[in-house]
Structure 1
Amino acid sequence: MSSAQKPILVYTGVTPNGFPITILLEALKAIVPGFDYDYEKIDILTNRQKEPWFIELNPNGRTRHTPHYDKQHKYWFNPEAEPNEYSDMLQWLFLRHALEIPYAKKRYLDEAKRLYGVLDIRLKDHDFLAGASRGKYSIADIKTFAWYSVHMGLWVRLHAFTGIESVDAWPNVKAWLERLNKETSVIAGIQVPPRT
Structure 2
Amino acid sequence: MIDLYYWTTPNGHKISIFLEEAGLDYEIHPINIGKGEQFTREFLEIAPNNRIPAIVDRRPADGGQPLALFESGAILEYLADKTGEFLPRAGRERYMALQWLYWQMGGLGPMAGQNHHFRNYAPEKIDYAIARYIKETSRLYGVLDKQLEEHDYVAGKEYSIADMAIYPWVKPYENQGQDIEEFPNVQRWMGNIARRSAVERAYARAEKINPKDGVEMDDEARRHLFGQK
Whether these two folds match at TM > 0.5 is yes
Moved over 4 A (4+): 69-72, 98-103
Identify if the C-alpha distance between structure 1 residues 69 and 125 changes in structure 2 by more than 3 Å, giving closer, same or farther: closer
Alignment partner of 1:128 is 2:139: no
Aligned partners of 2:128, 2:88: CA distance in 1, in Å?
Answer: 37
Alignment of 1:110-149 (within 5 A): 110-131=135-156, 135-147=157-169
Identify if the C-alpha distance between structure 1 residues 138 and 48 changes in structure 2 by more than 3 Å, giving closer, same or farther: same
Question: How high is the TM-score relative to the length of structure 2?
Answer: 0.68
State the match for 1:187 in structure 2: 200
One-letter amino acid matched to 2:159 = Y
State the match for 1:150 in structure 2: none
State the match for 2:28 in structure 1: 39
Q: Report the secondary structure of 2:27's partner residue.
A: strand
- Partners of 1:145 and 1:177 within 8 A in 2: yes
Identify if the C-alpha distance between structure 1 residues 44 and 87 changes in structure 2 by more than 3 Å, giving closer, same or farther: same
State the match for 2:95 in structure 1: 87
Alignment partner of 1:25 is 2:35: no
Question: How high is the TM-score relative to the length of structure 1?
Answer: 0.79
Superposed displacement of residue 72, structure 1: 5.9
Superposed displacement of residue 59, structure 1: 1.5
- Partners of 2:193 and 2:199 within 8 A in 1: yes
Aligned partners of 1:10, 1:103: CA distance in 2, in Å?
Answer: 38
- Partners of 1:19 and 1:192 within 8 A in 2: no
Q: Which has the higher helix share?
A: 2
Aligned partners of 1:49, 1:74: CA distance in 2, in Å?
Answer: 30
Aligned partners of 2:27, 2:38: CA distance in 1, in Å?
Answer: 17
One-letter amino acid matched to 1:97 = G
Show CA shifts across 1:144-183 (max 9, x none).
1112xxxxxxxx111000112x311111000000000001
Q: Which residue of the other structure, out of 75, 80, 85, is the alignment partner of 1:74?
A: 85
RMSD of aligned alpha carbons: 2.3
Alignment partner of 1:12 is 2:6: yes
Show CA shifts across 1:32-66 (max 9, x none).
xxx41111111001110111111122212122241
Alignment of 1:52-71 (within 5 A): 52-65=41-54, 66=75, 67-68=78-79
One-letter amino acid matched to 1:20 = K
Aligned partners of 1:168, 1:188: CA distance in 2, in Å?
Answer: 26
Percent of residue pairs bearing the same amino acid type: 34
Aligned partners of 2:136, 2:80: CA distance in 1, in Å?
Answer: 36
Superposed displacement of residue 71, structure 1: 5.2
Show CA shifts across 1:49-89 (max 9, x none).
1111111222121222415266563311112xxx1111111
